[in-house]
Structure formats: C-alpha cells, structure tokens
Structure 1
Amino acid sequence: MTDLEAHVTTKARSSGTTSTKAPVIARGGTTDLETHVAQKGRKELVKQVRSKINELGIKYIYYQFVSVTGRIVGKGIPADHWESIAERGFQLVYGSTANLYIDRHRAYIGYGPEASELVGIPDPETFVQLPWDKRVARVFCTCFRNREERTNPGGHLTSDCRGNLRLIHQEFQKKHKGLHLRHGCEPEMMWLKKGENGLPAGGFSKPNCYHIDQFESLRPVFMRVIEYATAMGLDMIQGDHEDAPGQLELNFMFDDCLRTADRLTTYRQICAQVAREFDLIACFMPKPFMGVSASGCHHNLSLWRGGEDEMNDLKNKPLPGMKDSFCYRKGGENTFLPLKGEQKPGPIGLNCIGGVIKHLGALTAIGSSTVNSYRRLWDTGFWAPVFADWGYQNRTCALRISAPGRFEYRSVDAAVNPYLMAAALLRAFDDGINNKYDPGEPEERNIYEAMSAGKKVKKLPLSLGDALNELEKDEIIKSAMPDEMYRVFMHYKRDEWERFMSTVTEWDLETYWDCLP
C-alpha cells in the first residue's frame, strides 16, 4: 500500500476537545500532525502533485474529508496555494465532522461554538482531477487537533472517521503479523425523477430485476457514471438493474479497505454530479419505497498477507491524478480460503465470522445507521438479513459465503459510512481471532424453515433505538470509534431517533385521526 503510514501514538485516543478544565501540556516532542507532514517520501509526493497541477491545468482544489454520517465536507482553495496547504493545512470548525448539525434541543452536536478548529492536512497520494470540470481536483485529508490546543495540540482528531480507519487498520496489521483487510462493496442506489417542487417523483425505471430493457433506459446515466468513475481510478467491473424503481448496482474492483472506502465516497460524489447533469435525484436512502427491495451495500470481506500494489491506469492518458488512486493490491495469501479438501473457510476466516456474529447487534447500528434503514428489515420478502446466522449461498442470513475466500456481510445499507463500517469489522475480526470464536455449522436451509424446525436464532435489532442500545453495551465495537468519534456518533444518532419518536407522521394521522377510544 503506497498510502503513507500515519504515526500512531497514545495521543490518538485523547479525551474531549471542549473541556473547560483542559490542563496545559508541555509542548516538547513531535506532534501527530508534525509526524504526519514529515513522513518519509511525502515531500516528493507534494512535488509530484505540483507537477500534476501544472500538467493538467488545475486551477482549484477541493480539500475534503468525511463526516460521521459519511457526508463529504471540506474547503475549496486555489491550486496556487498547494504547497502551503500541504505543509500547514487549512482550518475548519471541529463540528464539521458532525455536519455542523444542531440537535432538537438547539445544541450543536459534538462541539459547541466555543470549540477550536481542526487542521486538515491533504494526503497527496489521493489527488485526482474531476472529470466533469478538469480545472478542478480533489484530495482527501487527515484531520488533527488545532496546534494551539492546551490538551494534545496537533494530535489525531478522533472524530475523523477516515483517519481513524487508517490507524485501526495499521494497529490490526501490526498485531496480526501483516494481516490486512481487503474488501469490495455492492453499492445499490436509485435514480429518481425530480418533480416540479424538486422532490422525488418516483423511480426513473420500472422495478424489473436484471431486465436489460430497464437497464438500457438508464444507459445515458450509468455510462456517464462509468466514464467519470474510470477517470478517477475506479475499476468498474459489472452492473445491473435491481428490483426497485430506478435501482442500479454498479460495482468496482475490491482493494485495501481504506481505498475501497475512498472509492465508495468518490462513487457517491460522482452520482451526485451525474444527477445534476440529467436533472435526476441520485438516492442513497435505503428504503424510499415499500413493497420493493431496499438499497443495500453488501461488503465482501477477506483478510490477506502480502501482495503488491499494481498500477491500473484504466486507459487514462495522461494520468489525471496521482498513481495511488489507480493502484490495487494484488496477490498474496488469502487466509479465508478453505483448507485443502474442505469447504468451510480457513480457521482465520471462521474465527472472523464468529467475531462478526458475536457483535452483530452493535455492528447493525453502524451498518444500518438511519431510522429509514429499518424499513428494509421490516418489509418482508425482499431478502434483507434479519437473523444473526451464516451460511453458504443463503441470503436469509446476515453473513453468507459468497465465493471461496470471502464472505458477504449483508447487514449494511446504502447510507453506510464505509470508514466506520470497516473499522468496526476489523474490531470484530480482532476479537474473533483473539478468542478463536467458533461460528457453528453453516445454515444451508432457508432460515425460516430452520426456525420452524426448532432452530433458535437471534434476530438483529429492528429499530435504530434498539441498535444503539446494543452498541452502548459492546465495548469491542465502541473501540472502533474512539473517544470523540463515539461521543459525536451517539449524540447524532440518538438525536435522530428521538426526533423520529417525537414526530407525528402521515401514518399516525391516517391510523388514528378518527379513532374513538
């Protein structure tokens, strides 16, 4: 992996930034921010970006990171300032990691107006040109605490979900002798028509699964998506029309978990742009329609040792960005492959499945992170995973062996924050490996038939409130969102659940309007 290593220190787990009692800490030593900027080889990458800026005629750069809900946030800065921003970064309020959102009590989530400002440092290896306006480029950033903080100045900002994933993955690799997570995702979403009021006016196409005719009706849209995705380093591999109105699934090649999360974020950014060009709505809401399938984002997971990054320029000439955006990790040892003569995954794979099953309740709060997510679980008959079990090609379970050497985690939907999800799965894997959890025998029956025959199977949480309760009890999965990240996430999601519970809906009115007790 050519993504530069971040320096892991105990300061990455520091306590809150808004404490009024923050003691003065000695400024001796090197901060996480300084270590990150001074990484071996980074100066050369910064120079290479300048060469790309000049070669491609870049005039403006989006410096972006990802909020707790997976939203892309950041700043735009003229390209003339690249070197100074690469060295010193830019500042933005800490609350941007929580979308600068106010809860129902009118309090800012995570950080108040008295809080300091984060420092965003660009990761030059992620620099790439935007194909829809070639004067503009984007670069992902790592976030740090302000240099002037009295507590842990310049430390890793723990509410930076992308920076957290990098650190957690590095810790996992160090502990498990180079084992690293590679995964691919299946990003379903819906293309909706836009009404005169700008709101959704139904899906663009009919809900006919795998019909080429309906796929063809969206050809101008998905071909534009593929064009832009290829230009930004996504190796697009297959796609189809799913069984909801306007629902497409366009897949790209699996890779190291951080690059896969970056590419899913990029894919969403591309879809939003294409929607603007065609006057459509790119909808990543999990369940906009009842009676048809929801939009999932299944994660296909495997742990590897070794391998090398291989360049795939995807026929882009000249290359419209830094090489790392166009690299994929290839080769090495896939530890999830079955042992010779066996069908089950290898011992590490089984332990990881056991770890995920043990923590499925808490993981559901991250993979199904909105109130709307649970419409997907309640609308029966559409293959959404409701039970904490595993099997081979068995879509009634939360985990299935989708092919030798990987398993599919199904309890995750289109609204997922991929950085939080990957970090949480790594913690579940770690626990499974450490304790050698046995997931039991794979279930080959339809889970409902198995239950009718007497099998006891635990259900997943069926509301956001229940899932958050499971997360609160699970210290392993909570550790994937250290310190401020957990505080911000729980504040945001508890508020979302409370807002829903304190809202009178159309269903309430239709059901109870003329009801006499």
Structure 2
Amino acid sequence: MAFDISATDIGRDLADPIREERIERVRAKIDQLGIKYIYYQYVTITGRVLGKAVPARHWERNARKGIQTWLGGITNVAADMHGNLYGFSANAGESLAMPDPETFVQLPWDKRMARVFCTLYHGLEDAHSPGMYFTADARGNLKRFEREFRDAHDGLHLRLGLEPEMAWLRKTEDGGIFPYEGITKTYAYHIGQFEGARDVWTQVMEYAEAMGLDMVQSDVEDAPGQIELNYSFDDALKTCDRLTTYRQIANEVARQHGLVACFMAKPFMGAPAMGCHHNCSLWRGDDYQVVRTVDGELPGMEEMFTYNRGGVNEFENKEDGWIPTELGRHALGGALKHIGALTALGASTVNSYRRFADVGLWAPIGANWGLQNRSCTIRISSPDRFEFRAVDSMVNPYLFCSALLKAIDEGIREKIDPGAPEDRNVVEVMQSGEDVKLIPMTLKEALDALAEDDIIREAMPGRLYELYDLMKRDEWQRFLKEVTNWDVERYLDCLP
C-alpha cells in the first residue's frame, strides 16, 4: 500500500491553505529585501538554537519538504558524563524541520540573512511515527497546547510578559576564580551606569525592534553588568519566540563588542540573580494589530510585528481590587498545586538554586502566593496579572509555558482554591524557625517533584520527559562529582 502523507501530522499541516499563502508572501519578502540565505532553526530541550543555513533560492522546496536534521539534535548533540549521547544513538534517524513561514524575518546585523523557526516532525521513513509530530520538540508542543487550551475553555488564552534579566560581562586582566566582571556596577536604576553601557543596550534595542520586538522599558539593575530590556506582552508562543530572538540578538551584540551575554542564573553570589519572571494574564477575545517598530517596508512577515491587543482580561477583578476573579483564583490554585514540578522547569540548572539559597536578594522561596510579596513564588504584581517568579534566564520558555498551561487548565477544571494570600515575608518566617512551605531548594528536589507530577508531565509527551530527566539527572551527578573552588578553599588545609 502506498504511503498516505495526508493521514500524517505533516500532511495535514502542509494542506492548510493559510500556509501556502504565507509561503508565497515569504518569497515576496525574500525578493523585496534581497535575502540570500535563511537560517532554518529549532529550539532544543534546554533552549539552545540549532539548525541549518540554506540559500534563499531553495525556499519553496524547503517550505514544502522540510530540512532533514538528526533526531538527537533535540538533546544538543551532547553526551552524558559517561560519553553516551543523550537519548539517541549515532545511528538514530532523521527528523524533518518544517519552517513556520509566519516567523520569517531579516537579520538586522547582516541584511543578506533571514531566519525562520521550524516545527519538528518524524521523518517520512520513520518506522514507527512517519510524518507525525516529534513530541520532544517543546516549541511544537506549545503551539498545540495553546490551541487545545483555547478550545477547552471557550477561547480563553494565556498572554505573557517576560522580564529577561541578563549580565553583560567582560574578561578581567588578571583572571582569577571567576575571570569576568560586569560592564556596569551594582547601582540599580542608576542612569550614569546605564549610560556607560549605552552602546550595548541601544544596539540590542534597535536590532530587537527590527525583528518585531516592541521594546517598552529598560534599566540597569543591582548585579554586576545586569541589564533588563523589556518587550511588550503577547500570546504565549509569540512571546517565547521573541525571548529566543532576544537571546540571539544579545549573543550577536556581545560578539561584536568582545563581551559575554550571560544568561546564567547566578554568576555572582551576594548579588541578585538573572531572573526571567513570567507575568501571566488570561483573556477572551482577540484583536491582532501590527505594531510598527520600524519605518518603511517591514523586514519580515507581518505576523512578526503583530500583537494581540483586544479582548477581556478574565484574571482581573475590577470590583475587588487586587484579589483576582474566581477564574483567576482557580488558575492560581492550579499553578500553586504544581509549584514544585513547575520549578523544575523554570529553574532548570544546578546553578539556578544558588538564586534561592542566597536569600534576601529578591528571589522567591515560598511555595505560596501573595499580593506584592516578592518572597512568594506566585506574586500578584498588578491587579491584572500574576507573576511566576521561580523562573530564571536559563529557562526553556516553551517547555515552561506548556507546563503552566496544564497547571492552569487543571485549576480551572477542578476549581482549585489557592487559599488565602501569604502576607508574611517568607524569608523571615523561615529564618525564625516557623513552619512555612518552600519550593524545591536543589535541582534534585525539583526533579523528584516533577517525577511525581502526572499533570505537568502531560506537557512533556512522548520521550520528552524521559530525555529532560536524563539530561538533568546527569547534570546533577556531574555537579556531585566535581571538586570546586569552594571545596579547595574550605578543606585543603583545615587540619590539624
């Protein structure tokens, strides 16, 4: 029997007439902008960007047939501490990276170049799932989970605003234990310090706006080199794509200036960490509007410059101040119930938990919610949204948002009550010895919480949970087997 591609996920997606219209619009953009090469990129389980570059003259063929890439790319083409490739053998098959035409945009630092995000599928020759979604692709999963959430809740959807803190570092002349220093000093909001980094952050802002990020406000913060540049909120997938774009822009600007664009959660103890707070609201109704961040011809697809600005915020209680609506409370209840497993995805590295251990420096530790209470992991930061704070700048946002949607979905379906908001400072309560529930304080604790959470693991279908757990348990074991500078300084000559 001949293989019927129309019965596969890839066949159904290719048959979408909107896709064909977008493919044609991309060709027009290629010709208008003089694009010579296109990066076909996808995002790995840990949030890295992989892919291939192809001459733009092959656009139509690649848009309809995809780009072949090894299945194990999704685990960073990396090996565990024993030298074994994570989850895939060297002889594993190929996946198909199918470009999402609506994400096509020119690279402002080299206008011959463009990029497009891809969704991953099993190859058509795959023995078990030919042409079906490759469910280890967290970005592809979020696309589907967004649609499912809307369908299950009469058009309700998550809109998201992120706070992508990061550190801009340069090498020190004398080296040392940590041979990097910030390009700014630890004076939060200090315009003089911000001015000293102006050449860097203005270049990031200009590149970002050329790629469709609606930049809204920025400042220098109180860790060495720490700068936060914010862009406007939008539907979850588009906001996550913009975070990935922002990271790539920062990396390019750092390369041009001989700096390091550091997204590591905690490069300096005794100073605040690099958080990536997720500000969440729940809406019904849509009104997609083009936000013109550049003059003249848009340097990419119109969808890259479009933001959802209409509808009703179902989280905000306009009659009762800062206490959310009933639906909003249920959403909080779902997130609170699954807070440990969510932390395993939001704080995804060994280093992430240095942020929580260094108490009193803005990071949350309480497994609770509160009104303007930064010691709580879930904070009502404004009457119209809640902020999930146990997320740092190493997060894979697609994976975390998929899990958050699953938690909120259960909260709404089961009408989970989050209880009363916490008004105490959780750090002070903990230090006093009083009883208070904390989020996981090590990566291992968080992974154990994830292992016990069936709902959050629904956001990690197929082999995704297995692969994430494999990579992160290996990271924990590597950490335990490492002799650090702390060990040497503490124990080298402590006896007799």
Normalization by structure 1: what TM-score? 0.93
Give how far 1:197 is off.
10
Contact 2:359 2:427 in 1 (8 A): no
Instruction: In structure 2, give the amino acid aligned to 1:294.
Output: A
Distance in 2 between the 1:194 and 1:515 partners? Answer: 32
- Which whole-Å CA distance do the structure 2 matches of 1:361 and 1:286 have between them? 18
Show CA shifts across 1:164-196 (max 9, x none): 001111111111111111000000000001346
8 A contact 2:365–2:426 mirrored in 1: no
1:73 aligns with 2:50: yes
Q: Match for 1:152 among 129, 133, 145? A: 129
Residue identity matched to 2:452: K
Aligned letter for 1:415?
M
Query: Paired residue for 1:184?
Result: 161
Question: Retained in 2: the 8 A contact 1:391–1:400?
Answer: yes
- The residue number in structure 2 matching 1:214 is 193
Q: Distance in 1 between matches of 2:70 and 2:11?
A: 20
Residue correspondence of structure 1 range 401-480 to structure 2 within 5 A: 401-449=380-428, 456-480=435-459
Q: Distance in 1 between matches of 2:68 and 2:173?
A: 39
2:464 aligns with one of 469, 472, 485: 485
- Aligned with residue 49 of structure 1, among 9, 21, 26: 26
Which of 355, 358, 371 is equivalent to 1:376?
Answer: 355
Q: Distance in 2 between matches of 1:125 and 1:311?
A: 13
Moved more, 333-342 or 111-120: 333-342
Residues 296 and 412, structure 1, Cα contact 8 Å, conserved in 2? yes
Pairwise CA distance, 1:437: 1.0
Structure 2 partner of 1:7: none
In 2, Cα distance between equivalents of 1:453 and 1:434? 38
Equivalent residues in 2 for 1:63-462, closer than 5 Å:
63-195=40-172, 200-449=179-428, 456-462=435-441
CA contact (8 A) 1:355 1:437 kept: yes
When residues 123 and 197 of structure 1 are mapped into structure 2, their CA distance, relative to the original with a 3 A threshold, is farther
AA aligned to 2:266 is K
- CA separation of 1:328/1:200 partners in 2, compared to 1, >3 Å: closer, same or farther? farther
Q: Please tell me whether the aligned partners of residues 207 and 245 of structure 1 are also in contact (alpha carbons under 8 angstroms).
A: yes
- String of CA shifts for 1:411-431, please: whole Å, max 9, x gaps: 100101010111010011011
Aligned equivalents of 2:5 and 2:55: distance in 1?
34
Amino acid at match of 2:380: I
Seen in structure 2, the aligned counterparts of structure 1 residues 454 and 195 have a Cα distance that, compared at 3 Å, is closer
Quote how far apart the aligned CAs of 1:111 are. Answer: 1.2
For 1:88 and 1:28, locate their aligned partners in 2 and report how far apart those are by CA, in whole Å: 12
CA distance in 1, matches of 2:213, 2:58: 28
The amino acid that maps onto 2:165 is E
* Cα drift, residue 140 of structure 1: 0.4
Distance 1:228 1:200, change over 3 A: farther
SS of aligned partner of 1:144: strand
Secondary structure of 2:39's aligned partner:
strand
Paired letter, 2:120: C
Whether the 8 Å CA contact 2:272–2:361 is kept in 1: the answer is yes
Quick one: distance in 1 between partners of 2:167 and 2:261?
6
Task: Determine the C-alpha separation between the residues in 2 that align with 1:197 and 1:129.
Answer: 40
Matched to 1:425, the amino acid is L
State the alpha-carbon separation in 2 of the partners of residues 201 and 456 from structure 1.
40
Equivalence map 1:5-16=2 (5 Å): none
Answer yes or no: is the 8 Å Cα contact 1:127–1:322 preserved in 2. yes
**Matched residue, 1:18:** none
| Structure 1 residues 61 and 195: alpha-carbon distance in aligned structure 2, compared to 1, 3 A threshold | farther
> Could you tell me how far apart the structure 2 residues matched to 1:445 and 1:346 are?
23
> Aligned letter for 2:357?
W
Name the aligned partner's letter for residue 99 of structure 1.
Answer: N
Root mean square deviation, CA, Å: 1.8
Residue 44 of structure 1 aligns with an amino acid whose one-letter code is: E
1:432-457 deviations in Å (ceiling 9; x for gaps):
11111111111223234556899642
Which letter maps to 1:490?
A: D
Which residue of 2 is the match for residue 17 of structure 1? none
| In 1, Cα distance between equivalents of 2:320 and 2:99 | 48
Q: Secondary structure at the match of 2:7?
A: coil
Tell me the amino acid that sits aligned with residue 82 of structure 1: W
1:40 matched residue in structure 2: 17
Q: Distance in 2 between matches of 1:192 and 1:176?
A: 45
State the TM-score, normalizing by the size of structure 2.
0.96
Distance 2:347 2:427 in 1: 22
- Distance in 2 (CA, whole Å) between partners of 1:122 and 1:48 is 14
- Asked if the contact 1:391–1:444 (Cα under 8 Å) also holds between the matched residues in 2, the reply is yes
C-alpha separation between the residues in 1 aligned to 2:376 and 2:58?
A: 51
Seen in structure 2, the aligned counterparts of structure 1 residues 84 and 463 have a Cα distance that, compared at 3 Å, is same
Please state whether the residue corresponding to 1:511 is helix, strand or coil.
helix
Aligned equivalents of 1:196, 1:75: Cα separation in 2? 36
- In 1, the alpha carbon distance for the partners of 2:435 and 2:417 equals 17
C-alpha distance in 1, partners of 2:184/2:104?
Answer: 35
Query: Are 2:5 and 2:11, in contact at CA under 8 Å, matched by a contact in 1?
Result: no
Aligned pair in 2 of structure 1 residues 50, 474: CA closer, same or farther (>3 Å)? same
Deviation sequence 1:291-319 (CA, Å, 0-9, x none):
11011000000111112110112133111
SS in 1 for 2:108: coil
Query: What are the Cα deviations for residues 381-437 of structure 1, in whole angstroms up to 9, with x where unaligned?
Result: 202101111111111111111111100110100101010111010011011111111
> Tell me, what secondary structure is at the counterpart of 1:297?
coil
The secondary structure found in structure 2 opposite 1:47 is helix
Q: Distance in 1 between matches of 2:189 and 2:118?
A: 38
